């Protein structure tokens, strides 16, 4: 049976990482996952709004969920931030009647209601369910690609909300990546936050965290970083440019999306996967990727 979802892109992907959307859509097409445009989507709610005012966050996020509910669709998103925000809202509204009433009062003038029927999934969850199909479609092996995979926080924590993978020892996306012949290396700082949410409060602190992550990734012998989140990718493919350790050695490693790695191994056209938009040079791994 064909799976179908309304696809929630959020703000960061269309603004900065259209290669992520393009590669996600190409994978979905290849795997027969139907993606329906999310009409009327606003910002997911985001940790930014949750930080400012929780009632506004729940309303903003609850409206998106209620829109999908009205149309009878489940939601899939390729963004950890959107996934976390929508799941968190769903968790609060499901468990707490007083918040549910408050949000529904705000939604009523828009002709919407949250009742909790919609399933919210991350795109990598959907991919993981199709791991056997993906495995059969691998036509190009990526031997020699040593991936420092960064799961990102809101994909796995808090685990009672995210409900996807082990919060201390996640391995599901790594399993997917290794179907291609690539290695997902062990690195000490794998589970640490990328620092991206701090760019708004202190770029210095955000950069320090990124530096710690990249020292670890380089030390583990990785030749690229892979993410499944545009917020994390902002750190790895924008802030990382020119990043050095305390001795002045370059820490730069190419940054790829999960969908680009799987896509190239499945023989999808590199142009469609949007490698031209990757900002950190892909030269060190061009040959392995065959681009």
Partner 1 sequence: MTESWGQFKSFEGKKFKALDAEFTKEVSNLLGGQDLTACFQCAKCSAGCPVSDKVNIQVHEVMRMLLFGLKEVLETDMVWLCSTCYTCQERCPQGIDITDILFGLKNMAFKKGITPQGYIGARQSLYNTGRLYEPTDWERDDLELDPVPELNVDDTKKMLDKTKLMKLEEGE
The CA angle 282-260-119, to the nearest 5 degrees, is 145
Q: Give yes or no for residue 39 binding partner 1 (CB under 8 A).
A: yes
* Interacting residues of 187 by C-beta distance below 8 A, sequence separation 6+: 148, 216, 217, 219, 220, 222
Among residue numbers 210 through 269, which ones bind partner 1 (CB under 8 A)? none
Q: Which is nearer to partner 1, 107 or 145 (CB)?
A: 107
Residue 181 CB-density burial (10 A; 0-12 exposed, 13-18 middle, 19+ buried): middle
Residue 234, φ and ψ in degrees, nearest 5:
-60, -40
HSE-CB of 111 using CA atoms within 13 angstroms: 3
Number of residues forming the site for partner 1 (CB under 8 A):
63
Q: Give yes or no for residue 100 binding partner 1 (CB under 8 A).
A: no
Q: Give yes or no for residue 15 binding partner 1 (CB under 8 A).
A: yes
Identify which range of 48-56, 130-138, 240-248, 280-288 contacts partner 1 by CB under 8 A: 48-56
Q: Give yes or no for residue 16 binding partner 1 (CB under 8 A).
A: yes
- The helix/strand/coil state of 43 is coil
Q: Give yes or no for residue 34 binding partner 1 (CB under 8 A).
A: no
Identify which range of 132-140, 169-177, 201-209, 238-246 contacts partner 1 by CB under 8 A: 201-209
Q: Which is nearer to partner 1, 155 or 224 (CB)?
A: 155
Residue 220, φ and ψ in degrees, nearest 5:
-85, 0
From the list 31, 43, 138, 220, which residue makes contact with partner 1 (rule: CB under 8 A)? Answer: 43
Dist. CA 240–CA 251, nearest whole Å: 8
Q: Give yes or no for residue 157 binding partner 1 (CB under 8 A).
A: yes
At closest approach, how far in Å is the CB of 152 from partner 1? 9
**Helix (H) / strand (E) containing 3:** strand 3-7
Q: Which is nearer to partner 1, 78 or 274 (CB)?
A: 274
Identify which range of 129-137, 156-164, 177-185, 218-226 contacts partner 1 by CB under 8 A: 156-164
Dist. CA 94–CA 85, nearest whole Å: 14
Q: Give yes or no for residue 155 binding partner 1 (CB under 8 A).
A: no
Q: How many helices and strands (H and E) does the chain possess?
A: 16, 8
Q: Which residues pair with 34 in a beta bridge?
A: 4
Instruction: Kindly list the residues in this chain that would bind partner 1 in the complex (CB under 8 A).
Output: 9, 11-12, 14-16, 18-19, 21-22, 25, 37-43, 46-56, 59-60, 63, 92, 99, 105-107, 109-110, 153-154, 157-159, 167-168, 191-193, 195-198, 200-202, 204-205, 208-209, 272, 274, 277
């Amino acid at each position: 049976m064909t799976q179908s979802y309304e696809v929630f892109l959020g703000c960061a992907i269309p603004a900065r990482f259209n290669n992520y959307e393009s590669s996600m859509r190409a994978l979905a097409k290849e795997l027969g996952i139907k993606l329906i445009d999310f009409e009327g989507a606003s910002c997911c709610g985001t940790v930014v709004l949750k930080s400012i005012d929780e009632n506004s966050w729940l309303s903003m996020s609850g409206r998106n969920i209620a829109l999908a509910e009205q149309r009878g669709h489940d939601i899939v998103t390729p963004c950890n931030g959107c996934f976390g925000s929508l799941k968190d809202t769903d968790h609060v509204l499901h468990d707490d009647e007083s918040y549910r009433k408050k949000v529904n009062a705000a939604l009523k003038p828009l002709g919407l209601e949250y009742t909790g029927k919609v399933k919210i999934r991350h795109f990598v969850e959907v991919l993981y369910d199709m791991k056997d199909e993906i495995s059969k479609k691998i036509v190009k092996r990526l031997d020699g690609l040593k991936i420092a995979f960064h799961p990102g926080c809101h994909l796995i924590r808090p685990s009672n909300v995210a409900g996807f993978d082990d919060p201390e020892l996640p391995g599901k996306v790594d399993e997917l990546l290794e179907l291609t012949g690539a290695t997902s290396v062990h690195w000490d700082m794998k589970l640490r936050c990328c620092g991206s949410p701090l760019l708004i409060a202190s770029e210095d602190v955000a950069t320090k965290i990124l530096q710690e992550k990249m020292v670890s990734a380089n030390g583990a012998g990785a030749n690229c970083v892979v993410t499944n989140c545009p917020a994390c990718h902002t750190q790895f493919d924008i802030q990382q440019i020119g990043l050095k350790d305390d001795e002045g050695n370059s820490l730069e490693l190419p940054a790829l999306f999960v969908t680009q790695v799987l896509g190239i191994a499945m023989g999808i056209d590199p142009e469609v996967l949007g490698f031209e938009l990757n900002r950190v040079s892909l030269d060190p791994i061009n040959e392995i990727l065959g681009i």
